[in-house]
Amino acid sequence: MDEMNKLFYNVIENKRKTLANLKDSIEDTEKDLLTLMLEAGEDTTDTQHRLSDSELRDDLAIFFLAGHDTTSNALSFAIYFLAAHPHIQTKARAEVIEIFGDGDDAVYPTSSQCSQMKYVYMVMKETLRVCPPAPNTSPRKNTENFDLAGTFIPKGSSLTAEIYALHHNPAVWRDPETFDPERFGPGGESELKAGTGLPWLPFANGPRQCIGMNFSLAEQKVVLAMMLRRFTWTLPVDSINKDHIVLGKGMGILSPKDLRVDFIRRF
- Kindly list the catalytic residues: 70, 203, 210
CA distance 176 to 132: 13
Toward ligand HEM, which CB reaches closer, 9 or 63?
63
- Residue 98: CB minimum distance to ligand HEM, A: 26
Residues 66 to 125 in contact with ligand HEM, rule: CB under 6 A:
66-67, 70-71, 74
> Contact, 87 vs 62, CB < 8 A?
no
Residue 209 buriedness (CB in 10 A; 0-12 / 13-18 / 19+): exposed
- Count the site residues for ligand HEM by CB under 6 A: 21
Nearer of residues 86 and 139 to ligand HEM, judged by Cβ: 139
Nearer to ligand HEM, 100 or 161 (CB): 161
CA distance to 10, 152, 161, 227, per residue, from 142 (Å): 39, 12, 13, 45
Q: What SS3 state is found at 71?
A: helix
Out of 133, 184, 190, 222, the only residue in the binding site for ligand HEM (CB under 6 A) is 133
Strand, coil or helix: what is 244? coil
Kindly state the smallest distance separating residue 61's Cβ from ligand HEM, in Å: 10
CB of 267 to ligand HEM, least distance (A): 29
* DSSP secondary structure code for residue 68 in this structure: I
Cross-strand bridge partners of residue 105: none
CB of 90 to ligand HEM, least distance (A): 24
* Most distant CA atoms of the chain, gap in Å: 63
Should residue 174 be labelled a site residue for ligand HEM when binding is judged by CB under 6 A? no
Give min distance, CB of 54 to ligand HEM, in A: 17
Q: Which residue has the CB atom at the shortest distance from ligand HEM? A: 212
Among 34, 83, 183, 202, binds ligand HEM (CB under 6 A): 202
Which of 4, 11, 73, 24 lies closest to 223 in space, CA to CA?
Answer: 73
Segment near ligand HEM (CB under 6 A); pick from 50-58, 79-87, 133-141, 189-197: 133-141
Q: Which span sits near ligand HEM by CB under 6 A: 37-45, 61-69, 166-174, 223-231?
A: 61-69
Residues shown for the chain: 267
Q: Check: CB of residue 119 under 8 Å from CB of residue 181.
A: yes
Q: Determine if residue 114 is labeled as part of a ligand binding site.
A: no
Which residues, other chains included, contact 183 with Cβ-Cβ below 8 Å and sequence gap of 6+? Answer: 122, 126, 129, 173, 174, 189, 190
The residue (of 173 and 203) whose beta carbon lies closer to ligand HEM is 203
Under rule CB under 6 A, residue 138 binds ligand HEM: yes
Q: Which of residues 207-226 bind ligand HEM (CB under 6 A)?
A: 208, 210-212, 215-216
Q: Which residues belong to the annotated binding site for heme?
A: 210
